[in-house]
Chains A and B, each alone.
Chain A
Amino acid sequence: MTPLLVIADKEIRDALRNRWVISATLLMAGLAFSLTFLGSAPTGDLGASRLAVTVVSLSSLTIFLVPLIALMLAHDALVGEMERGTLLLLLAYPVTRSQVVLGKFMGQIVVMAIATVVGYGAAGLAVGLQGEGADPQSWHAFGALIASAVLLGAVFIALAHLVSAVARERGGAAGVAIGLWLLFVVLYDMGLLGILVATKGQIHEKIFPWLLLGNPTDIFRLYNLTAFENTRTFSGLAGLSGQMEFSPTWLLSALFAWVVVPLGAAMVVFKRREL
């Protein structure tokens, strides 16, 4: 086993042992189920695929929930070990600092993936297997939702690692993590809305889509609400998708860049960090 895998394995074991995995999974399953079944009443006899509707509602849930879980899971990954005094011993072993960051990152992605796949998957299966529930395209959209939710989780785990590499203490890291959540989930979009209102919607149509790329949750939303025909219909974005600047592949690549850049920065900062 390479040091990378040993560290990732330890991260997963720790999360299993201190019940992180089970609580995150239950939280996601609980919210997904209530949103799916309580929220499905309005679809009634419209002939809508219920799974497609589920994808739309889970997309909104994901934007709130996944960044929060990811930040909580990973914000003290490095600073926590520094503060507890376990990092000194770990680094005295034949492991590089980059391996520590990458190993922890990989382990936390697995934790996030288990919670998302099991939590959302259970709700999706319950809906999809109910009678007229789902057509193949909806299943496709649902699979894409889960995969992109894990990718969104990876973005925020990478951001949390950067916070953790910079922070002097755990409390500070937690504060910054909450700040990041507020910024990307609430404030950024409010800011964009403010710009739209202030410019009376006159902001250039070539600029506005690019501004959306500045927020990973917006990229995630755009991807899930416009990539598939049937989800477009229910998300009210059917009109928009025609004029969309970015293809689904483009959006996924942008999301991927949101993983690579903060993670790379976290490694650079952590490498230079004085112990």
Chain B
Amino acid sequence: MKTLGDESPRPPLFFQSLELFYGWGITIMNQTALAVEAVVKTYGNHHALNGVNFAVPAGVCMALLGHNGAGKTTLMKLLLGLTRPTSGQITVLGTNPALAGPEFRRQIGFLPENVIFHAELTGEETLKHYARLKGENPNRQNELLERVGLAHAARRRVKGYSKGMRQRLGLAQALLGQPRLLMLDEPTTGLDPMLRHEFYQVIQELRSAGVTILLSSHVLTELEARTDLAMILEHGRITAFGTLDELRREAALPVRLRIRASDPEQVMTALNGITARQTAPEELELTAAVEEKMTILRTLMASGIDVSDIEIQLPTLDHVYAHFGREKPAKEEK
């Protein structure tokens, strides 16, 4: 396990990832959207970020994971230029966000955690206000409300909105003016599974359009197959960074196989040396390292045993996250 926070100035994994993306040959990914180098951010004695290094190629969707207080929101504030790092260098869309002018902000959509709007304004008025702030035509926003499924409530005051509706209004304002970079802090909180699905459809469309997306979430399994990169923050340090496959490989978590066969005893004998557990009269469960998976399958097929079904459970992102989350920070903060 590499602790990227300890290395400088850029982690080797970044290059691996970059190479991977170049390898895919997608032209929009030929530049870096975010680069964070040796960034430290302290509030008094508290180290919110403690030597963070990473870079994200343009057009990539990256998940930002970590417990509350791990430094996710601080990182987003730094990337937005709302606060300056104590030390280190940040480049977002080619500029230093803390010094960038209005043109930089116009290219960014942001959804803060627990977004709050003025309760007395209607959804439509709220969106018009933010459109004006971004220098967009305020009368063209109905389509955006439609896109997030709020057209029916456009003329209702925000104080009557449910949590999910506010969140969707928040997403709508983040999409104003076709941003090149989207930063979404816990975007799916308060959304039911149906809305969550719709939300990720919107994200998918944006990804296809080449928008760079940074999103933090607590519901990790829902990010599966929806992000290109994931980064795990713990106590202001990066404990893991890479594609989900890379993280899985690095965590080396076992796969779980459930084998249904008329004679489990026979299977046990065939898989000589691998511990299996009988969970039902005709069912066995065993865990094995990922690389052993194919050997087991081949052995079973070759043995001629009557196997009716094999279910393979790969470690989920939750398992991977739990694995990296357990890691202690390299150095205790003072």
Q: How far is A14 from B122 in the complex, measured between Cα atoms in Å?
A: 12
Binary contact track B102-129/A, C-beta < 8 Å → 1, others 0: 1111101010101111101100010001
Contact of B102 among A6, A14, A94 (CB under 8 A): A94
Which residues of chain A from 68 to 118 have a CB within 8 Å of any chain B CB?
84-86, 88-96
Residues of B within 8 Å of A, CB-based: how many? 29
Complex contact B121–A13 (CB within 8 A): yes
Contact of B118 among A1, A3, A86, A96 (CB under 8 A): A86
Given known contacts A92-B80, A92-B82, A93-B105, A1 and B132 CB-to-CB distance under 8 angstroms: yes
Interface band, chain A: 20 to 34
* B39 CB to nearest chain A CB (Å): 16
Q: Does B83 contact A (CB under 8 A)?
A: yes
Q: How far is the CB of B212 from chain A (nearest CB, A)?
A: 16
Chain B residues with Cβ under 8 A from A89's Cβ?
Answer: 110, 112, 115, 173
* Total A-B residue contacts, Cβ distance less than 8 Å: 64
Complex: A249 Cα to B193 Cα, angstroms:
67
B77, CB-defined interface residue at 8 Å: yes
Query: A206 interface residue, CB < 8 Å from B?
Result: no
Known: A10-B129, A89-B112. A94 touches B135 (CB 8 A): yes
Closest A residue to B73 by beta carbon equals: A88
Alpha-carbon separation in the docked complex, A70 to B331 (Å): 52
- For A3, the closest partner residue in chain B by CB is B133
Interface centre among A9, A17, A89 (most CB of B within 10 A): A89
Find chain A residues with CB under 8 A from B120 CB.
Answer: 14, 17-18
A275 interface hit (Cβ, 8 Å): yes
Q: How many whole Å from B84's CB to the nearest CB in chain A?
A: 9
- A45 contacts chain B at the CB level, 8 A cutoff: no
Complex interface: chain B residues within 8 A of A84 (CB): 116
Tell me the smallest distance from the CB of B123 to a CB of chain A, in Å: 14
Question: Is B134 in the interface zone, CB < 8 Å from A?
Answer: yes
Q: What separation, in Å, do the CA atoms of A9 and B118 have in the docked complex?
A: 14
State how many angstroms separate the Cβ of A52 from the closest Cβ of chain B.
42
- Partner of A275 from the list B77, B105, B114, B118 (CB cut-off 8 Å) is B77
Q: Are A93 and B112 closer than 8 Å at their CB atoms? A: no
Task: Give every chain B residue within 8 A of A18 (Cβ-Cβ).
Answer: 120
Task: Judge whether B129 and A94 touch: CB under 8 Å.
Answer: no
Asked if B82 contacts A94 (CB within 8 A), the reply is no
Report chain A residues within 8 Å CB of B106.
94
> Does B130 sit at the interface, judged by CB under 8 A?
yes
Q: Does B43 contact A (CB under 8 A)?
A: yes
Tell me which of A6, A17, A91, A274 contacts B129 (CB under 8 A): A6
A219 to B220, CA, bound (A): 63
Task: Give CA–CA (A238, B134) in the complex, Å.
Answer: 56
B residues less than 8 Å from A94 (CB atoms): 101-106, 133-135
The residue in chain A whose Cβ has the minimal distance to the Cβ of B126 is A10
A142 shortest CB reach to chain B, Å: 35
The residues of B that contact A90 with a CB separation of less than 8 Å are 133
CA–CA, A209 and B72, complex, Å:
57
Residue positions of B touching A, CB distance < 8 A: 43, 77, 80, 82-83, 101-106, 108, 110, 112, 114-118, 120-121, 125, 129-130, 132-135, 173
What would be 26 A-B contacts, judged by CB atoms less than 8 Å apart? A3-B102, A3-B133, A13-B125, A14-B120, A14-B121, A17-B120, A84-B116, A85-B112, A86-B117, A88-B77, A89-B110, A89-B115, A91-B82, A92-B80, A92-B82, A92-B105, A92-B108, A92-B112, A93-B130, A93-B134, A94-B103, A94-B135, A95-B133, A274-B43, A274-B83, A275-B82
